[in-house]
Amino acid sequence: MHELGTIYYVMNTVEKLAQENSLTQIGSITLEVGEVSGIVPEYLTDFWLYARKKTELFKETELKIETLHAVTFCQNCEQTYDTVPQGKTCPYCGSGSTFLITGNEYNIKEIEAC
């Protein structure tokens, strides 16, 4: 369950930014989570509700999660396609010479200060 570690990483990062900018409360944090990142958004939400209670800065902070669509590129036919329904095999030419372009990452997209 790396979601708890992810939540603490986000909290530490935002806490440092809050200190640098003299913020005392955060209204919301928006995370972008890749469709094939291995992170389960529901677990993030559950862990967030647990962890945010431990500090005044995040006590009322809302966690918003946006899913980043997974897209794969085929090196043979130079087409892109949706990763989840197709996997590593290109649906256009049948090649396995593919690589993931997006969908494996997670980012802090936005921090709303109060």
CATH at residue 37: 3.30.2320.80
What distances in angstroms separate CA 41 from CA 72, 91, 98, 102, one per listed residue? 22, 28, 26, 17
Token readout for 25 is 């409360």
pLDDT tens by residue, 72-114: 999 999 999 999 999 999 999 999 999 999 999 999 999 999 8
pLDDT at 69 over 60: yes
Question: Phi/psi of residue 70, each to 5°?
Answer: -85, 125
pLDDT at 96: 96
pLDDT at 2: 81
Asked, for residue 93, whether it belongs to a domain, the answer is: yes
pLDDT at 1: 56
pLDDT at 114: 81
pLDDT at 11: 97
Token readout for 50 is 């647990």
**Residue 103's domain spans which residues?**
2-7+25-113
Mean pLDDT of 34-63: 96
pLDDT tens by residue, 41-55: 999 999 999 999 999
Total domains, the chain:
1
Q: Could you tell me the pTM of the whole model?
A: 0.88
Asked, for residue 90, whether it belongs to a domain, the answer is: yes
Asked, for residue 12, whether it belongs to a domain, the answer is: no
Cβ–Cβ < 8 Å for 68, 102: yes
Asked, for residue 19, whether it belongs to a domain, the answer is: no
